[in-house]
Amino acid sequence: MNGPAVNGSAGRTTVSGAGAGPEAAAGSCPADGGAASGSGGCPISLDPLSIDPLVGRLAEETEALRTAGPLARIDLMGAEAWTVTTHAEARRLLTDSRLVKDITTWNLWRSGEVDESWPLIGMVDAGRSMFTVDGAEHRRLRTKTAQALTPRRLAAIRPAVERITGELLDAMEAHAAEAPGEPVDLKAAFAQPLPMSVVCSLMGVEPELEPRLHRLYEAFFSMLTPQDERLAVIQELDELYAEMVEEKSASPGDDLTSALILADEGGEPLTAEEVRGNLEAMVAAGHETTVTLILCAVRALLTHPDQLRLVLDGQVGWEAVIEETLRWESPSTHLLMRFATSDVEVAGRVVREGEAVVMSYRAIGRDRAQHGEDADCFDVRRSAPIRHLAFGHGPHICPGAGLSRLEASVALPALFERFPSLSLAVPVAEIRNRPVLTQNELESLPVRLR
Ligand code: HEM
């Protein structure tokens, strides 16, 4: 591609500061962000491959974006875009029909400056699904999925979530008995398999495929994966899901993928490509985000023992923990991407027709105008309800919000009940993020169970 240099640093704002850890340590609030800049004319680089990457040092990144204002200019691994950093502007723009998901409206795509060699292309040019279309077509592609995730339908899914949670906890307990005192990675043992198993069972994906999917998505999201390998991963995922849709078309089961195949949306059934796109969107969006929610909630509680005590004593509900974690550690850090079909004014600046707009959900969750001067503090005692935008807003609002809340509301109390002495096995500053641009994804969460 011919866009701005991917690895060069000229003309970009980067943020200096030592250490990779987020501000999860007890007592690190509020002066936790380190040095920040970004209010100048240079775009803020979100390139994890540059010399001074922000990704993985989320506190500095958030501070830089907030300092740059409600609409900040960013450099997304060689492609310039705007990002929205405040709650009020995000809420307004997420319902603005002049911003659309169709990549063919993007000026850098049309001019060929962005093409398949751009590392983030898989998240923007993601095939035809509810994630990539708008308006009436979007409603057509989304309705059936949304209907499968209503509160009534979720009540029917709950026993499966409880069963999977119980099995994972049993396995961890058996491991603890065999190797007492040995640290366990809570991500690998618990937080990662749970959402993947739940979304696979919902969509009718065979459990045997889960390890392969984990591997493929790790490579897909990591910005360290060479682009040719990522394109091969995308192709493998596309083929895998296309095969599933073909098999289920021949022999439908009792799952959401089969329901999408059989759906008759006003006499216009979904095409095989649309079913595949929705299946991919559900599995891709439906696991890692919830992994992050569970892990970040555990980390936050273990580093704020006074608040954990309030929860375990029943003075504060698990719902408050979940909502505060969603606000404070938004699982989606930056959600790509919408494109302006005409000029759009935002806080005194103008997004020109054809330009790209990202939602920086982590900065939005830390917006002081919305959440108060202590927005950087984790506090489960905030007055309810906590009005965050971690699940988006408007027509594309996350259809899996209820499911992920259900998973977290089963997983968290069950974990702390089974292992009341749960503790971090490493200093919190050593817990690192993976080199992922779009998500607040932890590398691992080493804990001691007893
Ligand atoms: C903590 C967990 C989760 C978070 C924080 C989250 C966050 C989000 C956000 C911010 C969006 C809005 C995207 C946009 O504005 O374009 C979204 C959309 C979406 N999410 Fe989630 N999500 C979570 C869990 C899930 C789960 C469990 C599923 C599926 C089972 C799921 C499926 C989807 C899908 C399919 C979309 C696209 C909807 C559309 O474009 O109409 N998500 N999610």
Give the tens place of pLDDT for each residue, 13-40.
433 222 233 444 333 443 333 323 333 4
Q: Using the atom order of ligand 1, give the atom closest to the CA of residue 202.
A: 30
Cα 399 to middle of ligand 1, angstroms: 6
> Would you say the CB of residue 285 lies under 6 angstroms from ligand 1?
yes
Cα 440 to middle of ligand 1, angstroms: 14
For residue range 175-234, list pLDDT tens digits in order. Answer: 989 988 899 999 999 999 999 999 999 999 999 999 999 999 999 999 899 999 999 999
pLDDT of residue 19: 29
> Would you say the CB of residue 390 lies under 6 angstroms from ligand 1?
yes
Q: Specify which residues 100 forms β-bridges with.
A: 339
Q: Using the atom order of ligand 1, give the atom closest to the CA of residue 392.
A: 10
CA dist 318 and 315 (Å) reads 10
Q: Specify which residues 222 forms β-bridges with.
A: 436
> Would you say the CB of residue 281 lies under 6 angstroms from ligand 1?
yes
What residue owns the CA closest to ligand 1's atom 14?
396
Contacts of 31 (CB under 8 A, 6+ apart): none
Cα 335 to middle of ligand 1, angstroms: 10
Beta pairing class for 79-84 and 356-359: parallel
State the first-to-last Cα distance of the chain, in angstroms, to the nearest integer.
Answer: 52
Tokens representing 83? Answer: 């990002």
Q: Using the atom order of ligand 1, give the atom closest to the CA of residue 141.
A: 41
Q: Are 448 and 181 in contact (CB under 8 A)?
A: yes
> Would you say the CB of residue 297 lies under 6 angstroms from ligand 1?
no
For the chain, what percentages of helix, strand and coil (3-state, to nearest 5) are there? 50, 10, 40
Q: Using the atom order of ligand 1, give the atom closest to the CA of residue 131.
A: 40
Residue with tokens 């699982």: 331
- State whether residue 94 is helix, strand or coil: coil
Cα 179 to middle of ligand 1, angstroms: 38
Tokens representing 39? Answer: 């209010």
Cα 390 to middle of ligand 1, angstroms: 9
Q: In sequence order, what DSSP letters do the residues of 24-88 get, joined into one string?
A: -STT--SS-S-S----SSSPEE--TTSSS--TT-HHHHHHHHHHH-SEEEEEETTEEEEEE-SHH
Which among 150, 398, 412, 438 is the best mutation to test ligand 1's pocket, defined by most ligand atoms within 8 Å of the CB? 398
Phi-psi label, residue 400: left if phi above 0, alpha if psi -120 to 50, beta otherwise: alpha
Tokens representing 268? Answer: 């216009």
pLDDT of residue 50: 59
CA dist 24 and 364 (Å) reads 18
**By C-alpha distance, which of 396, 394, 395, 382 is closest to 326?**
382
Distance of CA 72 to the CA centre of its chain: 20
Which among 289, 329, 386 is the best mutation to test ligand 1's pocket, defined by most ligand atoms within 8 Å of the CB? 289
pLDDT of residue 181: 84
Q: Are 322 and 297 in contact (CB under 8 A)?
A: yes
Cα 287 to middle of ligand 1, angstroms: 10
**pLDDT in tens for each of the 450 residues of the chain?**
333 333 333 343 433 222 233 444 333 443 333 323 333 468 998 866 654 455 557 888 899 999 999 999 999 999 999 999 999 999 999 999 999 999 999 999 999 999 999 999 999 998 899 999 999 999 999 999 999 999 998 999 999 999 999 999 999 999 989 988 899 999 999 999 999 999 999 999 999 999 999 999 999 999 899 999 999 999 999 999 999 999 999 999 999 999 999 988 777 899 999 999 999 999 999 999 999 999 999 999 999 999 999 999 999 999 999 999 999 999 999 999 999 999 999 999 999 999 999 999 999 999 999 999 999 999 999 987 889 999 999 999 999 999 999 999 999 999 999 999 999 999 998 898 888 899 999 999 999 998
pLDDT of residue 57: 75
CA dist 365 and 371 (Å) reads 8
pLDDT of residue 264: 81
Amino acid at 80: E
> Would you say the CB of residue 277 lies under 6 angstroms from ligand 1?
no
> Would you say the CB of residue 193 lies under 6 angstroms from ligand 1?
no
pLDDT of residue 24: 41
